[in-house]
Chain A
Amino acid sequence: MNSEVHQKVWTGTALGNRIGLDKAGKDFGKRQVIRGIDLSIGAGEFVAIVGRSGCGKTTLLRLIAGLEPLGSGQINIDDAPVAGLNPHVKLLFQDARLLPWASVLQNVGVARGPDWQKHASEVLRRVGLEGRERDWPSVLSGGQKQRVALARALVSKPSVLLLDEPFGALDALTRLEMHDLLAETWRRDGFTTVLITHDVAEAVALADRVVVLQEGRVTLDLPITLPRPRRAVGDATTAKLQAEILRHVA
């Protein structure tokens, strides 16, 4: 849990993949959504991408995930260019996207694979949902649904985890719980993480680096060197960082 362990995880020996964007661009017809972004994300690094709605951050994430074809430039994961979906890259959506007709366990093990039931219940225990295996998603709260979605991503041992504002719809307390869970999981598993959010406090609390996106361009790339775990929200340094980011977002 200390920062030394965390340093070890994300520099070098991590399970995570490097992500490299080289003049990546994307347009939908006449609208240029992503305008030649250069960005390099280290293996196991936690990067938060902040921006207003419509700044292209979700599109950027979908490009990295291989869900949208790239318009121009190149995106590499380790040294392989992204061309379609990559089994090592998993995505957490804004809505949990659970299959309503499948039990919690079946949702976590949706990709099946050998011994999926055993792995799925192990991961469910890790996200604090032991004993809910047989429940339908409809009886879960919003936070619990996102926990199931996180477990579903973790069960496949991803080397890159992309998060598209997954905590945006949760209440403040549940959101803090989810932050802790994500930070802890990331520290232990060492996957590369890209978090899309419009919540500057969330970005500062979780990420190694905050990237501000405006009209499809990177306008700020700020390292966050606050010690982990970051329970103390609201101290002077945090406030200063948040203020600087907000200046660029506005």
Chain B
Amino acid sequence: MRVLRDRLVPWLLPLILLAVWELAAKQGWITQRLAPAPSAVLAAFWSTLLDGSLVHHTLVSTGRALKGLVIGGALGLAFGFANGLWGSAEKTFDTTLQMLRNVPHLAIIPLVILWFGIEEEAKIFLVAIGVLFPIYINTYHGVRNVDPGLVEMARVYGLSALEVFWRVLLPGALPSILVGLRYALGIMWLTLIVAETISANAGIGFMTMNAREFMQTDVVLLGILVYAVLGKAADILTRALEHWLLAWNPVYHPVKVAA
């Protein structure tokens, strides 16, 4: 009973707010056009689901997000490992990367539009730039923080340079890389929202901007909710990834008492 109550309490306030909101909308205290009732958003969800547009736009947005993540993430990993492992690479690239990192990547949108137009490349480029830096920095620090004693041990036991990378450096840097990934996922959605709002002919951002044109506030709210759900889903996936890949880390499993 107590457990049940503890579970329900956090949801109490949101539910009351929703109820009040619904009531206020129904009673005409607030204008439907500015803030539609929760039931209207639900209806919008149902109708867009049935006509397939919701799924279509969500898939388009997710596809862009993943493409950008793969490109930017791969570059971030590559630079992170290269600069973490070789002093000469760090000397060559780190200063440049740090300068670029400090430019808010959304500030280059005008330039990106000039370069790529308003096509897919522009959005994917922006997402890639956005995710590159958190992945780069965390990979770099992860590699740097691998215990040099472990690398020395691996050499004493005859592991080749490639084996040292796969079996010592990569797993050693992984906790930090996954932190970078979680940051990157947040930035990924944020960047995509902005990029899709500027110009697109499909995607959640397009769906909401299009709905604004026709004053379909319910669809606008629905789009915002979809972003929230996508963001949460990405977070859940990374957490699962952490639990699976970092099972060795005492943080992720109940410590057995050493016998």
Contacts and interface: CB of A to CB of B under 8 A. Distances in A.
A97 B149 contact: yes
A67 interface: yes
A87 B153 contact: no
Nearest to B258: A141
A90 B156 contact: yes
Interface in B218-259: 246-250, 253, 255-256, 258
A91 B152 CA distance: 10
Contacts of B256: 135, 139
Contact of B248 (A85, A90, A100): A100
A117 to B, nearest CB: 16
Nearest to B250: A138
Given A65-B156, A110-B154, A111-B158, A99 B149 contact: no
Contact of B171 (A85, A93, A99): A99
B156 A67 contact: yes
A139 B149 CA distance: 20
Interface residues of A, number: 25
Contacts of A91: 156
Interface residues of B, number: 25
B156 A136 contact: no
Contact of A97 (B150, B167, B250, B258): B150
Given A99-B150, A144-B258, A138 B156 contact: no
Contact of B249 (A100, A135, A152): A100
B157 interface: yes
A136 B248 contact: yes
B158 A93 contact: no
Given A67-B156, A138-B255, A139-B256, A95 B249 contact: no
Contact of B157 (A67, A111, A135): A111
B66 interface: no
Given A139-B256, A141-B258, A156 B157 contact: yes
A28 interface: no
Nearest to A139: B256
Contact of B168 (A85, A87, A99, A156): A99
A91 B157 CA distance: 9
A140 B255 CA distance: 10
Interface in A103-157: 110-111, 135-141, 144, 152, 156
Contacts of A99: 150, 167-168, 171
Interface string B144-184: 00010110111111110000000110011010000000000
A152 B168 CA distance: 16
A140 B171 contact: no
Contacts of B149: 93, 95, 97
Contacts of B157: 90, 110-111, 152, 156
A152 B150 CA distance: 13
B165 to A, nearest CB: 13
Contacts of A93: 149, 153
Given A99-B171, A111-B159, A138 B153 contact: no
B145 to A, nearest CB: 13
Contacts of B152: 67, 97
Contacts of B159: 110-111
A141 B257 CA distance: 9
Q: Which of A85, A93, A138, A140 has the most CB of B within 10 A?
A: A138
B151 to A, nearest CB: 10
A90 B152 CA distance: 12
Contacts of A102: 167, 171, 248
Given A67-B152, A97-B149, A97-B153, A138 B249 contact: yes
B255 A139 contact: yes
Contacts of B246: 101
Contacts of B247: 136
Nearest to A113: B158
11 contacts: A85-B158, A87-B158, A97-B150, A97-B152, A99-B150, A99-B171, A101-B174, A135-B256, A136-B253, A138-B248, A139-B258
Interface of B: 147, 149-150, 152-159, 167-168, 171-172, 174, 246-250, 253, 255-256, 258
Interface of A: 65, 67, 85, 87, 90-91, 93, 95, 97, 99-102, 110-111, 135-141, 144, 152, 156
